[in-house]
Amino acid sequence: MSETNPVVVIGAGPVGLAAAAHLAEREVDFVVLESGPGVAAAIEEWRHVRLFSPWRYDIDSAARRLLEQAGGWSEPDLGTLPTGGDLIDSYLEPLTKTPQLTDRIRYGAEVAAVTRVGFDRIRTDGRDTAPFLIRLADGTELLASAVIDATGTWRRPNVLGGSGIPARGEAAAADHIAHALPDVLGRDRERFAGRRTAVLGAGHSASTTLLELGELADEVAGTEVLWVVRGTDQARTYGGGEADELPARGALGTRLKKLVQSGRITLVSSFRTEELVPTTNGRVELVAGDQRVVVDTVVNSTGFRPDHDMVAELRLDLDPILGSTRALAPLIDPNQHSCGTVPPHGVDELTHPEPGYYAIGAKSYGRAPTFLLATGYEQARSIVAALAGDWQAARDVQLDLPETGVCSSNLLLPVIDNNTANQSGCCN
């Protein structure tokens, strides 16, 4: 690494700030770039959602040490389940106020591109010694000795179309489509109360929204809920029940199954959306062959995918199926692993042909839905140790994860879904 240029961390969510905490502990110069106006801007959008992983899995070790050193921080009860808002208010926001991080985070700093100074993707000679060039959306540029990309996948949801591309008419029907994890019982209540809603997807974010819609239907007459999936067997969504080592996650599937069996949620299976057609009464019709579903709103809970556009001039080695690094793919393959059975992995599995560039957190998993916060924290620790030259620590990767009921994906159901409500870890 250059002695004059900092490590640039992109994204001030839980995993990006974990990387910053480890860099601070190792006294490696760094700066954090966050596109939003405040910490964890993506999580802010789903602050009402309760994670199903308790606090003990949600706090990074280096971050905890910085908070304890700063004083004035009270560690939450490690056995309780935080909401996204709790994660920000009780952990991430105080972390940004620690002396080691407070002046190192730049908000409103949207990264437009990352490349090497003087090098496009083709040129080789001298490439490894050239610093990284980060260009922001406002035209500002800065240099970096290494880049840790913790931007997540929240800003790039999958499409509704059943073939991986937008359904016909999907763009024109945008006003009828809601992002994953709307605040059904709070901020967005008016959009769903007394109306007919279809939730597309079969993962934990879909389950969360369906349960809230079911509660709303009990409160407001005329509220109708449809669950639209591509598969025929929802056993993976219902999960491990009482066998799940995270009880809240097991309860999620159990409650959803009861709502479907009672008829309060109508399950529409084997539905691969081909077209969205506006109706004369202001609704939208979803079309799949001979099947038709007419609703007021469609909640897109079909998951997320990584956006590699901003690093298009870097040399990446991506798995052709998942979009993770090729070395990581077999370790997170949802055909073989759930969230809790992913083996330990770190810098070796996350290394690209572009030395010094690492994608961590949800983005590192590509389309695999098996990501948990604790996994991202260990990634951050390993990579920072490598950047500091401590390869023994970098390769001593360890994970203690709870056995999970299920993580669903298009490879399994086949329904594309990413259980991360995003970037933060599995949620309830």
Query: Does residue 292 sit in the same domain as residue 310?
Result: no
Query: Does residue 292 sit in the same domain as residue 312?
Result: no
Query: Does residue 15 sit in the same domain as residue 141?
Result: yes
Residue 362 is predicted with a pLDDT of: 96
CB 300 within 8 A of CB 294: no
Number of domains in the chain: 2
Q: What CATH code is carried by the domain that includes residue 27?
A: 3.50.50.60
Cis geometry, peptide bond prior to residue 414 (ω within 30 degrees of 0)? yes
Query: Does residue 286 sit in the same domain as residue 315?
Result: no
Residue 242 is predicted with a pLDDT of: 53
Per-residue confidence in pLDDT tens, the chain, 428 aa: 446 899 999 999 999 999 999 999 999 999 999 999 999 999 999 999 998 789 999 999 999 999 999 999 999 999 999 999 999 999 999 999 999 999 999 999 999 999 999 999 999 999 999 999 999 999 999 999 999 999 999 999 999 999 999 999 999 999 999 999 999 999 999 999 999 999 999 888 898 999 999 999 999 999 999 999 998 766 566 655 555 555 555 567 788 889 999 999 999 999 999 999 999 999 999 999 999 999 999 999 999 999 999 999 999 999 999 999 999 999 998 877 666 678 889 999 999 999 999 999 999 999 988 788 999 999 999 999 999 999 999 999 998 776 544 443 332 222 223 333 333 344 33
Query: Does residue 87 sit in the same domain as residue 195?
Result: no
Query: Does residue 295 sit in the same domain as residue 195?
Result: yes
Residue 217 included in any domain: yes
Tell me which residue of 369, 347, 368, 367 sits closest to 358, measured CA to CA.
Answer: 347
The residues with which 198 forms a beta bridge, in sequence order, are 226, 298
Residue 415 is predicted with a pLDDT of: 27
Q: Which domain holds residue 83?
A: 7-155+304-395
Q: CA dist 20 to 59, 258, 264, Å?
A: 14, 43, 46
Cα separation, 274 vs 295, in Å, equals 15
Residue 421 included in any domain: no
Query: Does residue 148 sit in the same domain as residue 285?
Result: no
Residue 417 included in any domain: no
Cα separation, 376 vs 315, in Å, equals 22
Query: Does residue 284 sit in the same domain as residue 308?
Result: no
- Give 242-265 as a DSSP string: GG-SSHHHHHHHHHHHHHHHHTSS
C-alpha angle 107-423-236 in degrees, rounded to nearest 5: 170
Query: Does residue 13 sit in the same domain as residue 130?
Result: yes
Tell me which residue of 345, 423, 426, 419 sits closest to 379, measured CA to CA.
Answer: 345
Cα separation, 107 vs 357, in Å, equals 21
Residue 238 is predicted with a pLDDT of: 63
Query: Does residue 13 sit in the same domain as residue 148?
Result: yes
Residue 231 is predicted with a pLDDT of: 83
CB 30 within 8 A of CB 20: yes
Residue 161 included in any domain: no
Residue 53 is predicted with a pLDDT of: 84
Residue 47 is predicted with a pLDDT of: 96
DSSP label at 50? B
Residue 373 included in any domain: yes
Query: Does residue 145 sit in the same domain as residue 32?
Result: yes
Residue 180 included in any domain: yes
Residue 326 included in any domain: yes
Cα separation, 171 vs 174, in Å, equals 5
**SS3 label, residue 186:** coil
Structure-block tokens of residue 290: 């001979």
Query: Does residue 295 sit in the same domain as residue 310?
Result: no
Task: List Cβ neighbours of 89 (8 Å cut-off, separation of 6 or more).
Answer: none
Last residue of a domain, one of 263, 283, 300: 300
Residue 148 included in any domain: yes
**Residues 4-43: b if buried by 16+ CB within 10 A, e if exposed:** ebbbbbbbbbbbbbbbbbbbbbbebbbbbbbbbeebbbbb
Q: CA dist 109 to 9, 258, 334, Å?
A: 11, 45, 34
